[in-house]
Amino acid sequence: MKISIIGCGNMGTAYARSFRKYGLVQAEDLCMVIRNPERRSQLERFGQVLTSIGPEVQASDLVIIGVKPQDFASIAPALATRLSPDQVVLSIMAGITLAHLKEALGHANVVRAMPNAPAQIGMGITAYATGAELNMRQTLMVEQLLNCTGRAIHLGDEALLDPVTALSGSGPAYFFEIVRTMIEKGIELGLPAHVSSALVKQTMLGSFHLMEHADRSPEELIKAVMSKGGTTEAAFRVMQEEDLAGTLGRAIGAASVRAGELGR
Ligand SMILES: NC(=O)c1ccc[n+]([C@@H]2O[C@H](COP(=O)([O-])OP(=O)(O)OC[C@H]3O[C@@H](n4cnc5c(N)ncnc54)[C@H](OP(=O)(O)O)[C@@H]3O)[C@@H](O)[C@H]2O)c1
């Protein structure tokens, strides 16, 4: 299989690294198109590095678009001239719809995917929607490639990518915000910074694994930690008074609305 990646920042590089790590593509069959030539030396160990969309891209079975959505217009005309009908184009750009991809590239075989930041260490989750023209073989190829950055979930309805973006796409940032807030509060309450950081990070890690292994719902796990008149109950009273659940829900709703706006 031959693969081209247009735009090798955080995510594009993660794909290049994972494809090579799992042997899904040979170095000579992986082509990375970058804008800043200074990045060449960091990427050359994965495959061939180009500074413009050349004929090598035309020979690829799969072309991944890993630029920011606002940069799509600057690459679309050049990419459109390099596409042949059998190729699959996979976009990870937030908010760029399948219809927009098809129109801007003049190409039918398109896939729109929403990965998330942990894909950079092979622990991401990617939801994706395919254009109606994609056949089963092409869909399986995409799923296999996405799986090497974590898990992949096929969506029958492209519109679901808006809530996906709000949950798993932006989700790591919500998690980091909670971690950051807890660490800062620990320091404010008198803990040395490294102790507060270790306590919070290990608590998050341990709680995740407990949730995965305990076969109990998040509600049941909360009840198991909370005792009547205790510390957790005191914390939850404040969270309820301040409507933390409502705030988080509204934040996720706003992200989903914004994802829809970006697609229009
Ligand atoms: N990061 C996430 O957690 C996440 C999650 C879900 C989806 N996404 C999507 O993934 C895409 C990439 O995100 P990212 O975090 O990897 O962004 P990033 O680190 O900024 O990477 C984008 C890369 O595209 C390059 N680029 C821009 N224009 C180019 C051009 N004309 N030719 C070649 N390369 C070009 C940029 O080059 P320069 O270095 O010169 O700027 C940069 O290296 C975005 O569309 C985003 O919506 C990201």
Same domain as 258, residue 142:
no
User: Is 164 contained in some domain?
Assistant: no
pLDDT of residue 227: 94
Select from 157, 178, 211 the last residue of a domain.
157
- The answer to whether residue 29 is domain-embedded is yes
Placement of tokens 């622990």 in the chain: 123
For ligand 1, atom 15: residue with the closest CA = 10
Range of the domain at 206: 169-262
CATH number for the domain harbouring residue 46: 3.40.50.720
* Per-residue pLDDT, 131: 87
Determine which residue's CA is closest to atom 26 belonging to ligand 1.
7
Angle at 9 between CA 8 and CA 12, to 5 degrees: 50
- Do 140 and 173 sit in the same domain of this protein? no
Q: Is residue 186 part of a domain?
A: yes
Give me the amino acid identity at 91.
S
Q: Do both 121 and 54 map to the same domain?
A: yes
Contact between 130 and 146 (Cβ < 8 Å):
no
The answer to whether residues 79 and 174 belong to one domain is: no
Mean pLDDT estimate for the chain: 95
* pLDDT tens digits, one per residue of 50-90: 999 988 899 999 999 999 999 999 999 999 999 999 999 99
Could you tell which of 15, 34, 97, 261 is best to mutate to test the pocket of ligand 1, judged by most ligand atoms within 8 Å of the CB?
34
Question: Of 125, 157, 189, which closes a domain?
Answer: 157
Distance 165 CA to ligand 1 centre (A): 16
Q: Which residue has the higher pLDDT, 240 or 261?
A: 240
Pocket test for ligand 1, best of 8, 43, 67 (most atoms within 8 A of CB): 67
pLDDT (tens digit per residue) in 80-114 = 999 999 999 999 999 899 999 999 999 999 999 99
Residue nearest to atom 39 of ligand 1 (CA): 36
Q: Which residues line ligand 1 (CB under 6 A)?
A: 6-12, 33-36, 66-69, 71, 74-75, 92-94, 114-117, 169
Ligand 1 midpoint to CA 200 (Å): 31
Other Cβ atoms less than 10 A from the Cβ of 223: the count is 12
Q: How far is the CA of 84 from the centre of ligand 1 (A)?
A: 24
SS3 261: helix
CATH number for the domain harbouring residue 173: 1.10.3730.10
Q: How much distance in Å is there from the Cα of 90 to the middle of ligand 1?
A: 14
Tell which one of 32, 71, 262 to mutate to probe ligand 1, the residue whose CB is within 8 A of the most ligand atoms. Answer: 71
Whether residue 163 is contained in a domain is answered as no
84 and 185 belong to one structural domain: no
Local confidence band at 3 (pLDDT 50, 70, 90 cut-offs): very high
Residues with Cβ within 8 Å of 252's Cβ and at least 6 positions away in sequence, in order, are: 163, 166, 167, 170, 174
121 plus 224 within the same structural domain: no
**40 and 107 belong to one structural domain:** yes
One domain for residues 10 and 107: yes
pLDDT recorded at residue 263: 72
Kindly give the distance from the C-alpha atom of residue 39 to the centroid of ligand 1, in angstroms, as a whole number. Answer: 13
- Give residue 248 CA to ligand 1 midpoint distance, Å: 27
Same domain for 173 and 153: no
Q: Per residue in 15-31, pLDDT tens?
A: 999 999 999 999 999 99
Question: Could you report the per-residue pLDDT of 200-246, keeping only the tens digit for each?
Answer: 999 999 999 999 999 999 999 999 999 999 999 999 999 999 999 99
pLDDT at 216: 94
Residue 162 lies in a domain: no
Q: How far is CA 262 from CA 54, 59, 100, 173, 190, in A?
A: 29, 31, 11, 19, 43
pTM over 0.95: no
- Decide: 66 and 7 in contact? Cβ < 8 Å: yes
Same domain? For 57 and 183 the reply is: no
| Counted domains in the chain | 2
C-alpha span between 108 and 155 (Å, rounded): 18
